[in-house]
Structure 1
């Protein structure tokens, strides 16, 4: 007969296994919680010291980018691991932050421009599944180059079909809407990189239309003389009509590609959660990134003349862009703030993230929070450690059982 303490090894190991599994469930729940910090701006300390005083009429917007979904083409590691956690990230972020609206700044698909319509349907199904309980809330999606292709592969019919799959987009992939008295304009930035392309001319018409609306609202006039000549963004002579509206009084501008940074006056908050002092220029040290299906250029920005045209025509209140996969907070020469949203997927970076913007009811400055998510390397290390511990426990239980049987 075995000693009493050896006879108790089996139930103890079973209890330990149960504790490990319970801890795993708890860990998965906790690791999905985002860590958010307000990004400070110079000379606005009071605003950030009191950012926690949320008014019911404030508009809180969750802004994500570069989901790089693969739909039915996803490998097993995505299906059983990365996509699962991406869904958890969305669910926890929405539960905790309670945003009023969701913005997705392009590249929903990792290779949408190469997909058939049925394959795109599987990506859309995956995207709607990610939204989960937020699907009934307002959301707006703009198109990225991975969704519709670069200039050489840009197809008008394909863009029209993909744009029709998302709410609020016209046939050129642009949109304009208002929520809680905040005006938003989204542009197909991919088309603005292309030369004499029908889609680019359609985007220019949207910009001019929004510029007219802005001037009419500002000047309280009902008639404006519009220059009949087409505006060419590819030439050095940009023929926009001078907009007398002051900078920052226009709509919130949404783009996939960042605007050209004319001056090197970017800044970063030292409170970014990973403690790293990043730079808006840091992406230039890595011209191509291994993302999705292989090397990929992350340096696209709108050219200087297109950037200046947008500033003159729209006078954006603030600009949100994406594509670079990194967070960046930049002040342009005219005082316009541009926030580049990082990629929200482990397919793009080890430490994904997103942005939360709060638009105050009094029309003041926009409060921007950078939210970081768990690093894939940390989660994998935790899973490996738990797996080793669980296997050790099972081996211990089996060894004890064999000893009991022999006795």
Structure 2
């Protein structure tokens, strides 16, 4: 009886240990990682000459990129399960702990949107909506990436409108929240070759640029300008450009940090209109909008670049373990005149694997020790029975 009792106690201990390790690695590990993150502080005092007495309104926005939800063609079921669970738990934990007002996903939401069938597309969208569900007081805004609609030569009106309908976004759109202007750009359409989609996007961007310039001139000056008579009114604030492709840069050679590209990859030259926007498209966006900040994705790695010694750009790394071991996202506190950013790292996949392996090795050793002890106990019991019979 004591032998059986000890056996069941060991079984219960093993089950309890496995359960604890599983719950920690698959659920609890995200809390201590994201709990270390906080919104960057900003001075909310009104400027002395503005005549404003109320504190400056601020907007708290979260930025992530390149989720690459696997599709029906290239996605192995276990790979999909593992990566999608990681992103779902990370996103839901971030929402619960940080409470952002708006979340921007900078493109490449899907991995196979460029060639998925209607049925596969609907399945991918359903999974995305489950993973990135959010409360009503948090707004989710999704941008277009090359894997969502295809590279320039793969993109067509059907794929583009399919994406725009689901996410209620267009290829060129100004989104204003609390006096902050965010310019959403379909960078895949910035090819500059006169294709119908490219022409439509550039025409709309030029119109938005003119309207914004009118708003920046002030009410009196804009009324005196004939071009501003029918212009859309925006807050008098330089915009923040959000897009999937980075603006043109030669390579990632100047990028640093633990989530930058690997050292052997940083010197690889970027291909225009494939890895980054073309020089011409980059110049157009900077000239038209004079942005105070650019946020982009696509490279799956972090980088900070200053264009023309004036326009800062930050590349946001991938949010998925499939693309990097240490995913992260950006937290931004914005006002109409200022912004501050901070980075939040998710748990590393290698850490989770190491915990599982260590727990597995420890359990195997414990089981072996238990088996050996059980055998000795059984041998002793057999010896006692034999002696009892001989007596």
Q: TM-score, normalization: structure 1?
A: 0.76
| 1:318 matched residue in structure 2 | 293
Task: Confirm or deny that 1:379 pairs with 2:352.
Answer: yes
Q: Deviations over 1:106-162 (max 9, x none)?
A: 101112111112111111111111113347621111111111111222212221222
Over aligned residues, Cα RMSD in angstroms?
3.7
Task: Specify which of 325, 333, 358 is matched with residue 350 of structure 1.
Answer: 325
Task: Specify which of 217, 240, 257 is matched with residue 252 of structure 1.
Answer: 240
Q: TM-score, normalization: structure 2?
A: 0.79
- Give the whole-Å Cα distance in 1 for the aligned partners of 2:137 and 2:125: 15
1 or 2 for the larger relative contact order (CA 8 Å, sep ≥6)? 1
How far off its partner does 1:371 sit?
Answer: 1.7
- Give the whole-Å Cα distance in 2 for the aligned partners of 1:397 and 1:14: 13
Secondary structure at the residue paired with 1:62? Answer: strand
- Give the whole-Å Cα distance in 1 for the aligned partners of 2:79 and 2:250: 39
- Give the whole-Å Cα distance in 2 for the aligned partners of 1:367 and 1:262: 27
- Give the whole-Å Cα distance in 1 for the aligned partners of 2:315 and 2:374: 58
| 2:362 matched residue in structure 1 | 389
Q: Which moved more, 1:13-22 or 1:394-403?
A: 394-403
| 2:202 matched residue in structure 1 | 204
How far off its partner does 1:346 sit?
Answer: 1.4
Secondary structure at the residue paired with 1:177? Answer: strand
| 2:119 matched residue in structure 1 | 118
Unaligned runs of at least 5 residues, structure 1: 40-47, 227-247, 289-295
Residues 265 and 70 (structure 1 numbering): CA distance in 2 closer, same or farther, change over 3 Å?
closer
Task: Confirm or deny that 1:285 pairs with 2:267.
Answer: yes
Task: Specify which of 328, 335, 340 is matched with residue 303 of structure 2.
Answer: 328
- Give the whole-Å Cα distance in 1 for the aligned partners of 2:251 and 2:65: 25
Residues 53 and 378 (structure 1 numbering): CA distance in 2 closer, same or farther, change over 3 Å?
farther
How far off its partner does 1:349 sit?
Answer: 1.4
| 1:158 matched residue in structure 2 | 159
Residues 91 and 298 (structure 1 numbering): CA distance in 2 closer, same or farther, change over 3 Å?
farther
| 1:132 matched residue in structure 2 | 133
How far off its partner does 1:224 sit?
Answer: 4.0
- Give the whole-Å Cα distance in 2 for the aligned partners of 1:323 and 1:133: 24
How far off its partner does 1:217 sit?
Answer: 0.8
| 2:233 matched residue in structure 1 | none
Residues 30 and 7 (structure 1 numbering): CA distance in 2 closer, same or farther, change over 3 Å?
closer
- Give the whole-Å Cα distance in 2 for the aligned partners of 1:52 and 1:7: 65
| 1:245 matched residue in structure 2 | none
Q: Which moved more, 1:313-322 or 1:73-82?
A: 73-82
Q: Is the 8 A contact 1:321 1:339 kept in 2?
A: yes
- Give the whole-Å Cα distance in 2 for the aligned partners of 1:386 and 1:107: 35
How far off its partner does 1:391 sit?
Answer: 4.1
Residues 197 and 297 (structure 1 numbering): CA distance in 2 closer, same or farther, change over 3 Å?
closer
Residues 80 and 262 (structure 1 numbering): CA distance in 2 closer, same or farther, change over 3 Å?
closer
Task: Confirm or deny that 1:368 pairs with 2:341.
Answer: yes
- Give the whole-Å Cα distance in 1 for the aligned partners of 2:117 and 2:209: 36
- Give the whole-Å Cα distance in 1 for the aligned partners of 2:131 and 2:250: 37
| 1:242 matched residue in structure 2 | none
Q: Deviations over 1:268-309 (max 9, x none)?
A: 5xxx6x4x7x58997543569xxxxxxx99962111221111
How far off its partner does 1:77 sit?
Answer: 2.3
Residues 20 and 111 (structure 1 numbering): CA distance in 2 closer, same or farther, change over 3 Å?
closer
Secondary structure at the residue paired with 1:316? Answer: coil
